[in-house]
Amino acid sequence: MTINIRPAVPADVPLIAALIRELADYEKLAQEVRFTEDMLEAYLFGMHPMAEVVIGEQDGIAQGFALFFHNFSTFEGRPGIYLEDLFVRPEARGTGLGKGLLSHLATIAVERGCARFEWSVLDWNEPAIGFYRKLGARPLDEWTGMRLDGDALKALAGS
């Protein structure tokens, strides 16, 4: 089996959309999906891309993706990479594709001079947590994720 990790291109938008929907189904969050393919294309490949995507293929068939963007560490004075989503289709799990995607992003982080590579994982996703720990990732138990969205975001923005 041949694994290939490649940068996504605009023609991949329908594939990216399908993989995001599969991820949302797996995470039991399908009701949260609100994007359109036009939105994905604009934000991933438009004048000012907000994120990047790599596609994981096995024997030429797309079986997963990773969507990431840069953040910045004020203490380090350097950028980091934040992995927003990683997904490998069930039939390709356990074949090295997930590790390949993460390794590819770690390589990008090192090449770009990043101080760190971070992501979040749902607390119920024990298989993923175990997988990440085996790779050397450590949980940041001292941090609590916070989010503003919807009406709360608009209210704070003064809208």
Residue 130: pLDDT band by 50, 70, 90 thresholds?
A: very high
Average pLDDT value for the chain:
95
Domain boundaries in the chain? 3-156
User: How would you write the chain as a 3-class SS string?
Assistant: CCEEEEECCHHHHHHHHHHHHHHHHHCCCHHHCCCCHHHHHHHHHCCCCCCEEEEEEECCEEEEEEEEEEEEECCCCEEEEEEEEEEECHHHCCCCHHHHHHHHHHHHHHHCCCCCEEECCCCCCHHHHHHHHHCCCCCCCCCCCCCCCHHHHHHHCCC
**Predicted local distance difference test score (pLDDT) of residue 69:** 98
- Please say if the pLDDT value at position 3 is more than 80: yes
| Predicted pLDDT of residue 80 | 97
Q: Is 144 a residue whose pLDDT tops 90?
A: no
Residue 1 above 90 pLDDT? Answer: no
pLDDT > 90 fraction of the chain, expressed in percent and rounded = 89
In this prediction, residue 159 has a pLDDT band, given cuts at 50, 70 and 90, of confident
Percent of the chain clearing pLDDT 70 (strictly above): 100
Please list the active-site residues: 132
Give, in words, the CATH class of 3-156. Answer: alpha beta
Whole-number pLDDT of residue 72: 97
pLDDT digit string, tens, across residues 62-82 = 999 999 999 999 999 999 999
